[in-house]
Amino acid sequence: MMTPGARPAPGPLALGAVLVVALVLPLLLKNFVVFQLTLVMIYSIAILGLNLLTGFNGQFSLGHSAFYAIGAYTAAILMDRWDVAYYWTLPVAGLACFGFGFLFGLPALRLEGIYLALATFALALATPQILKSSPLEPFTGGVQGIVILKPDPPPGLPLNADQWLYYFTLAVLLVLFAGARNLVRGRTGRAMLAIREHPVAARLMGINTALYKSLTFGVSALYTGIAGALGAIAVQFVAPDSFTFLLSVSLLVGLVVGGVGSIAGSVVGGLFILFVPNIAEQVSKGLAGAVYGLILLLVIYLMPSGAAGFARLLWSRVVRRTHAPTVTEGRIP
Amino acid sequence: MELLLHQILAGLATGGIYACMALAVVMIYQAIGNFNFAQGEMATFSTFIAWQLLQWGVPFWLAFLGAAVAAFLGGIAIERVLFKPLHRAPPLSHLVAFIALFAILNSLAGFIWDFNLKTFPSPFGSRPLLGSGLISTHDAGMIGLTVLLLALLYAFFRYTRVGLAMRAAAAHPVSARLVGIRVGWMMALGWGMAAAIGAVAGMMIAPVVFLEPNMMLGILLYGFAGAVVGGLTSPGGAVAGGFAVGVIENLAGTFIPFIGRELKLTIALVLIVGVLMVRPSGLFGRPVVSRV
C-alpha cells in the first residue's frame, strides 16, 4: 500500500527539463520573443513576491504596483543620475522596497483581509499621482519619466543585448526562486503558514505575529521591487502611467491563475499576464478587454485553484493509474 | 466665509454620489463578503443605457427609470449567472471574477458607445439656486435626490417584509434559511438594488464629469473611502462616510495649497488608511469577533 508521501514527485525531473528549455530557447528565437520571455520572468518574480504575501501569509495586497514602481524608479534614477551599473541597482531597489514594505506593513498589521486589500488599493491608485507630483519632479522626471540605456553584454560573450538580459534575468529568477523555496520551508516559512492558517492560534504558540507579518510584507516588496528594477532595465523606460492600479490587477490575476501558494505557479502566472492580453487583442481589437475578461472567467471556473492545483490534480490521477492500481481495495482519496 | 459655505455645499453634492456608491458597495459586501470592484463599471454602463434612451428621444425621467430598472435586472443576472456558481470559491477568486467583470463591462461600453466624452443633460438645469450663488440647481437636485433615495431605502429595510428578510439573510444566512427565507434570492435582490443605486449615482454625476467608459473609476475609490470611513457593517455609517468624504475632499482641495487638483485622490488614500489605523472597523461599524 502506498502512502501519499511515497508518491513520486514531479519536481526535480520537470525542473531540469524546464531549465534546459529555458537555457536553449533564446538561441533559437527572434529577439522580440526573447524580450517577451524576459518580461515573463520579470512578472514571475513580481508574482512570486505577491505569492509570498498572499499565498503563504494570507495577507491581501492590491498595491504591489507601488512596490514595482519604487523598484523601477530606484533603478532608473540610479542609472540615469549617478551612472550606477545596472546590476548594482537590483540590491539597492530590493532594499529600498524591503524598507518601504516593512514600514507599510507595520500599520497594515491592524488590517485584515479586505481592509488590507483596500488600503493597498488606495496605495496603488495614489502611486502614479505621487510620482507625477511637483516636489518629486526633479528626480522622477514628472509625466515624461526617465529613459535609460539597455546594458551591453559583457565583452567576449557571443550574445546580443536581448539574449544577455534574458540570461541575466534567468539567473536572478533562479536565485530568488531558490531563496523563496528555502524561506517557505524553513522556520520562518512555518511561522508564515501558521499565521495564514490561524493568526490567533499562531500567536498562542509563541509566534511573534506582528514581526512575521511585517517581515513578510517587506520580503514580498523586496521581490516585487527587484522585478521592478529588472523591468525598468528591460523596457529602458519608466513613466508614472506604467505603474497604475492595472499593474497590481495583472499581478493578482497572475497569482490566482498560476495558483495561490505555489512557487512554480508564479511562472505560469507570468506567462498568462504577458501573452493572454495579446491573444485577446488578436481575437478582437475593439473587444479585447471583454475577451480577456471571458478567458479569465473561464480559467476561474475550470481551475478554481489555479494552474498549480490543476497540475496537482492531473498528476495525482496519473500516479494513481500507473503506480497504485490497488487503490480500489478501499482508500479513495 | 461664503467660500467655505459654498465649498461645503458643493462637497455635500458630490458627497451624495459617494454616499450612493458607498451604500452599493456595502450592500454587496454584506451579501458576498467582498468589495465589488466592478461597481463603478456597472454604474457607467447603466448611465450609457440612459444616454442611449435619451438619444432615442425618451423623456429624461423615463430614461432615468428605464436605466435604473435595466441596472436592477442586470445586477440580478450577474449574481445568478456569475457569482452563484462561485459561491464556495475562495475570496481571491471572487476578486478575480470582479476584475473580469470590470474588463468585460468597460470594454463593451467602449465598443458600443466609443471612448469620446459625451455630455449628459441634468434634469435640474445648472442655474444658481434662488439666485444666491451659493449652490447650483443641479447640486441642490443631486442632494435632494440622494436624500430621497436614502430615505426610501431606510423605509424599505425597516418596514417591509422583503427588506427585513434581506437583512436577516445578510446577518445570519443559516438561521434565515431555517425560517424559510430564500437566502440566495435575497442576495440576488441585494445585487440588483446595489446596481440600481449605482446607476442613479452614475446618472447624477454624469452631467458634472462627462460620460465616458472610465467615468466612475475615481468616484468608486471615494465610494470605498466613504464605506470604510463609515464602517462596512453599517449602511447608515457608509452613507454618512460618503458625505464626509465629499466635504473633506472639497475643503482640502480648496484650502490646503499644495494639494490642489493633482493630489486629490491621495486624500482618499490618507482617509482610508487614517481611519483604519484608529478604528479598524470604521467609525460606525461593529468590530468583527471570530471564534477560535
Query: What is the per-residue pLDDT across B191-202, written as a single tens digit (0 to 9) for each?
Result: 898 899 889 888
Position A333 scores a pLDDT of: 39
CA distance A198 to A217: 18
- Percent of chain B scoring above 70 in pLDDT: 88
Please tell me which residue of chain B has the smallest CA distance to A288.
Answer: B107
The grid coordinates of residue A30 equal 527572434
pTM of the model: 0.80
Judge: B280–A54 Cβ closer than 8 Å, yes or no.
no
Q: How confident is the model at residue B74 (pLDDT cuts 50, 70, 90)?
A: very high
Position A330 scores a pLDDT of: 39
Please tell me which residue of chain A has the smallest CA distance to B92.
Answer: A256
Range B70-84 average pLDDT = 88
Closest CA–CA distance from residue A59 to any residue of chain B (Å): 11
Q: How confident is the model at residue A130 (pLDDT cuts 50, 70, 90)?
A: confident
Q: Which residues of chain A lie closer than 8 angstroms to B258, CB-CB?
A: 135
Query: Is the predicted pLDDT of residue A327 greater than 70, yes or no?
Result: no
Judge: B107–A288 Cβ closer than 8 Å, yes or no.
yes
Which of the residue ranges A2-6, A43-47, A167-171 would you say has the lowest mean pLDDT?
A: A2-6
Closest CA–CA distance from residue B122 to any residue of chain A (Å): 30
Query: Is the predicted pLDDT of residue B23 greater than 90, yes or no?
Result: no
- Render pLDDT for B119-178 as a digit per residue (tens, 0 to 9): 888 777 766 666 566 677 888 888 888 888 888 888 888 888 888 888 888 778 888 888
Q: How many contacts does A have with B, using Cβ atoms within 8 A?
A: 127
Which of the residue ranges A68-82, A103-117, A288-302, B82-96 would you say has the lowest mean pLDDT?
A: A103-117
- Render pLDDT for A191-208 as a digit per residue (tens, 0 to 9): 888 888 887 888 888 888
Position A123 scores a pLDDT of: 81
The H-or-E segment that residue A237 falls in is strand A237-238
Kindly report the backbone phi and psi dihedral angles of residue B181, in degrees, each rounded to the nearest multiple of 5, phi listed first.
-85, 135
- The residue behind cell 546580443 is A160
Query: Is the predicted pLDDT of residue A184 greater than 90, yes or no?
Result: no
What does pLDDT average to over chain B? Answer: 81
Q: Which residues of chain B lie closer than 8 angstroms to A200, CB-CB?
A: 292
Position A248 scores a pLDDT of: 86
What does pLDDT average to over chain A? Answer: 80
Q: How confident is the model at residue A2 (pLDDT cuts 50, 70, 90)?
A: very low
- Report the residue from A117, A130, A293 with minimal CB separation from B104: A293
**B283 and A CB contact within 8 Å:** no
- CA distance readout (Å), A299 to A51, A253, A268, A272, A276: 18, 10, 13, 11, 12
Position B263 scores a pLDDT of: 64
Query: Is the predicted pLDDT of residue B224 greater than 60, yes or no?
Result: yes
- Report the residue from A125, A134, A252 with minimal CB separation from B269: A125
Range B237-244 average pLDDT = 86
Look up residue A327 and give its DSSP letter: G
Range A270-276 average pLDDT = 87
- Percent of chain A scoring above 70 in pLDDT: 91
Q: Which residues of chain A lie closer than 8 angstroms to B34, CB-CB?
A: 114
Query: Is the predicted pLDDT of residue A40 greater than 60, yes or no?
Result: yes
CA distance A213 to A211: 6
Nearest by Cα to B191 from B31, B48, B60:
B31
Interface pTM, i.e. ipTM: 0.76
Range A243-264 average pLDDT = 84
Q: Which residues of chain B lie closer than 8 angstroms to A298, CB-CB?
A: none
- Report the residue from A113, A118, A126 with minimal CB separation from B224: A118
Range B251-265 average pLDDT = 67
- CA distance readout (Å), B182 to B144, B170, B187, B192: 34, 11, 9, 15
Position B72 scores a pLDDT of: 92
CB atoms within 10 A of CB B287: 10
Judge: B292–A293 Cβ closer than 8 Å, yes or no.
no
Q: Which residue would you say has higher pLDDT here, B170 or B68?
A: B68
Judge: A200–B272 Cβ closer than 8 Å, yes or no.
no
Position B258 scores a pLDDT of: 62
Range A218-238 average pLDDT = 88
